[in-house]
Structure 1
Amino acid sequence: MMHFLRKFSNKTVLIRAATLAAAGSGTFCFATSSGHDASISISMPSPFRDSLAWPWRTIEGTIPFYSFKRSNHSQYGLLPLSFSKPDNVPDTNISKGAAWDAGDSPKHCCNCLGRDTIANAAARIGPAVVNLSVPQGKSIGSGTIIDEDGTILTCAHTVVDLLSKGKVEVTLQDGRSFEGTAVNADLHADIAIVKIKSKTPLPTAKLGTSSKLRPGDWVVAMGCPLTLQNTVTAGIVSCVDRKASDLGLGGMHREYLQTDCAINPGNSGGPLANADGEVVGVNIMKLLGADGLNFAVPIDSVSKIIEHFKRNGRVVRPWLGLKMIDLNDMIVAHLKEKSASFPDVRRGVLIPMVSPGSPAYRAGFRPGDVLVEFGGRPIESIQEVIDILGDKVGKPFKAVVKRENNVTETLTVIPDEANPAL
């Protein structure tokens, strides 16, 4: 690098710019591409840059652009020297670097994990995280205040015994305590609502969205493990759609967020938050005998459950009596290899089993059917069937299935209401 600077025709200007970037907590990057070009990128925070005596445009116009050809190290041509403005952040004491590509203009590094990212997320959601305990003082779990009217989101297994009678003591992070009442619970999804009344304003947490999460995203788990209130742990999303069947849990279709945040008894019902401090899940369980295998109910599913509570007082789930498997190219190829009579489909939902006496059995579904249309819409996944069903019980739905040798049948199925215990 120093050899290069010695050859630089206007090294004084270059060194001055690099020194300014360093003094302003910026970044100075030197990069070479696989070809013959090289580039130097300098990034400095806007507060420092704006305080310079030099007008910014004057700097850009003053610094000449040079480069060298690696094919002949004795000759130096045009080296682009570029400045990039770091992304704005709430705390001006924290600067974000700029990512760069050799030979191209520098690109900003958005969503970088900074020194205060986890702390800021915890600070946003922390005041709304509560400890739930029975009047005798025994901690039973955690929860999150999601509405100023005193609505607390938690998991069903912590309060199910208190639905018909009994009260739960709710303790906030600031030390205030309230007597709460369990008003709704969905045992299938393990989600419940507790209510408290307060004459003073209550802190609340913002609900985010879980559909945008990706494996590797940072998340924060909060709660009161082993009665230790105001506990924060952090980790990443390990899987965004871990199926209940993967965990050996039978019954209806369920999916969980899998994380490696540290979860212990007492975290149940507490929030899983994203880096913005928004609730993206409700922590409900961990895998015993294993580290970093923890599971939360996605907040998108929780939001639908809350809407059911408001509309019906309970969660209404239609039941067809079908076991279903999403098809993809690999599964279809395998089934075709096993049986040449398997229908010519690329996508759809395979029906490997039909429960005797169920609505699907009465409608004429058979094991081996491939569901390709439901409710007048093409079907490629189980989730699409669930979304079309919604909470419609007793309403007929048209279903188109493909059978062996490409026989197509149109069936009419009328779903029953599912048993909540399933």
Structure 2
Amino acid sequence: MLRFLLNKPYRSAAAAAAGFFAVAAVASSHSAEATVSVSLPPPRHFLSTPAELILGDYRFPSLFSIPLADVGFPLRHSFVDSSVPSATLNKEASGKSEDDSRCCPGCLGRKSIVKAAATAGPAVVNISVAHGIHGLMLGKSIGSGTIIDPDGTILTCAHVVVDFQSTRGVSKGKVGVTLQDGREFEGTVVNADLHSDIAVVKIKSKTPLPVAKLGSSSKLQPGDWVVALGCPLSLQNTITSGIVSCVDRKSSDLGLGGVRREYLQTDCAINEGNSGGPLVNLDGEVVGINVMKVAAADGLSFAVPIDSVVKIIEHFKKRGRVVRPWLGLKMLDLNEMIVAQLKERDDSFPDVSRGVLVSMVTPGSPADHAGFRPGDVVVEFEGKRVEGVKEIIDIMGDKVGQPLKVLVKRTNNKSAMLTVIPEEADTGR
């Protein structure tokens, strides 16, 4: 893993005896207590009538109802809600609930996490990379990956399969891949983007390979349930679950420099070996690739959104690498509250409700040459209205060297149309 600065109380009711037992509670509407009686049935003689035991707030289904003796002990009384249809109580009593379906997409049902893990789990692989110098083996690193295509295409993290520090080498781009069903393959590192920490590994198989379905990270909301799958500490077929804590955690919030990136933040347990494994929704669709956690904190894990990963894969197919345009601007998303605060401080601030504020222009950059100034508010980019930096990045795509038209608003509501020609970003900036 990358390390960057890198019940409710459970009450149990139990009884033990030499044979089957039964408990019955009888409550009076005039009493705060009920009497529970316990007796042992004659050997091999019992009734198979479904019954139900209610203790406090808990309902315990039982398959046996036995005549009771007069040995009892007091408990707080509990009444069955008369508003609940008897048919419902009968189903609960017999242990036959309707099913484990959810009331709506995204809701958590009794088997939701089980089904999500079962859907995506077979496509999750363990990746191991042997490291050495001059033929001397020095060790092995581990990670996870996800098969996303029947041709053997596997998504994983670049830091799992690529040398980041030049002190260890990847053995001729070859990695070990182990499937959940135990099959082992030799994989080849096809593409890797160190900036986004996404890589593609390929394996070849004569038999069918399980494949995970890609979902959409743009549909996620804070509080949505997600499941992380992978091989932490080489413990294969491990799943953890949690919720989405933030859908657009910026790299700058994490102290990570370079070109702007956004992450999904979750509270799923992530450890060494989880890197490259999938983050899936309750439908078992991949919505992110787990990349890192905060070393000194629990419940702070991060994943690359799958929508961003899909664009990276498209770059790989088109150019063999990821091309990122660079303008040389530091920008801030605006909303009505921020605009109101800025106008309180300076009444010459332009009359806008949304847009992107230019807070800094890098000297000698494409933006500097185009005439951008600190304080400009970008309202249109290539003829499209923009409300955030992400929209500008999406519009630019991989348009390096192509002139782009930008409409900005300046103090006292003056407008200016600028033409900027992006350069290819140096991710080490």
Q: Please indicate the TM-score interval, normalised by the length of the shorter structure.
A: 0.7 to 0.9
Residue matched to 1:271: 278
Code of the aligned partner of 2:152: G
What does the per-residue CA deviation read over 1:306-328, in whole Å, with 9 as the maximum and x for residues that have no partner? 11111111111111111110111
Q: 2:241 is paired with a residue of what secondary structure?
A: strand
Q: 1:25 is paired with a residue of what secondary structure?
A: helix
Residue matched to 1:154: 156
Answering whether residue 388 of structure 2 is matched by residue 388 of structure 1, we say no
What does the per-residue CA deviation read over 1:183-216, in whole Å, with 9 as the maximum and x for residues that have no partner? 1111121111011111111111110111111111
Identity of aligned residues (%): 70
Give the whole-Å Cα distance in 2 for the aligned partners of 1:246 and 1:17: 50
Would the alpha carbon gap of residues 316 and 169 (structure 1) be closer, same or farther in structure 2, given more than 3 Å must change?
same
How far is 1:95 from its partner?
4.9
Would the alpha carbon gap of residues 378 and 22 (structure 1) be closer, same or farther in structure 2, given more than 3 Å must change?
same
Code of the aligned partner of 2:358: I
How far is 1:159 from its partner?
1.2
Residue matched to 2:128: 133
| Deviating more after overlay: 153-162 vs 233-242 | 153-162
Give the whole-Å Cα distance in 1 for the aligned partners of 2:157 and 2:405: 36
The answer to which structure, 1 or 2, has the higher relative contact order (CA under 8 A, 6+ apart) is 2
Q: 1:368 is paired with a residue of what secondary structure?
A: coil
Give the whole-Å Cα distance in 2 for the aligned partners of 1:115 and 1:163: 43
Q: TM-score, normalized by length of structure 1? A: 0.76
Q: 1:366 is paired with a residue of what secondary structure?
A: coil
Residue matched to 1:144: 146
Contact 2:158 2:194 in 1 (8 A): yes
Give the whole-Å Cα distance in 2 for the aligned partners of 1:259 and 1:243: 14
Residue matched to 2:88: 21
Would the alpha carbon gap of residues 188 and 109 (structure 1) be closer, same or farther in structure 2, given more than 3 Å must change?
closer
Contact 1:191 1:302 in 2 (8 A): yes
Contact 2:406 2:417 in 1 (8 A): yes
Give the whole-Å Cα distance in 1 for the aligned partners of 2:174 and 2:113: 34
Residue matched to 1:181: 188
Answering whether residue 99 of structure 2 is matched by residue 94 of structure 1, we say yes
What does the per-residue CA deviation read over 1:246-302, in whole Å, with 9 as the maximum and x for residues that have no partner? 111122221110000000011111000111111000000001211100000000110
Would the alpha carbon gap of residues 15 and 140 (structure 1) be closer, same or farther in structure 2, given more than 3 Å must change?
closer
Residue matched to 2:386: 379
Contact 2:259 2:427 in 1 (8 A): no
Q: 1:206 is paired with a residue of what secondary structure?
A: coil
Give the 5 Å matches for 1:350-365: 350-365=357-372
Contact 1:163 1:182 in 2 (8 A): no
Give the number of equivalent residue pairs.
339
Code of the aligned partner of 1:168: V
What does the per-residue CA deviation read over 1:113-161, in whole Å, with 9 as the maximum and x for residues that have no partner? 2222111111111111111112467242110011111100001111122
What does the per-residue CA deviation read over 1:32-65, in whole Å, with 9 as the maximum and x for residues that have no partner? xxxxxxxxxxxxx9xx9xxxxxxxxxxxxxxxxx
Would the alpha carbon gap of residues 346 and 200 (structure 1) be closer, same or farther in structure 2, given more than 3 Å must change?
same
Give the whole-Å Cα distance in 2 for the aligned partners of 1:406 and 1:287: 44
Contact 1:233 1:262 in 2 (8 A): yes
Contact 1:187 1:421 in 2 (8 A): no
| Deviating more after overlay: 130-139 vs 218-227 | 130-139
Code of the aligned partner of 2:140: K
Give the whole-Å Cα distance in 2 for the aligned partners of 1:243 and 1:118: 28
| Deviating more after overlay: 341-350 vs 154-163 | 154-163
Residue matched to 1:113: 108
Residue matched to 1:41: none
Give the CA RMSD over aligned residues.
2.5
Answering whether residue 235 of structure 2 is matched by residue 228 of structure 1, we say yes
Residue matched to 1:102: none
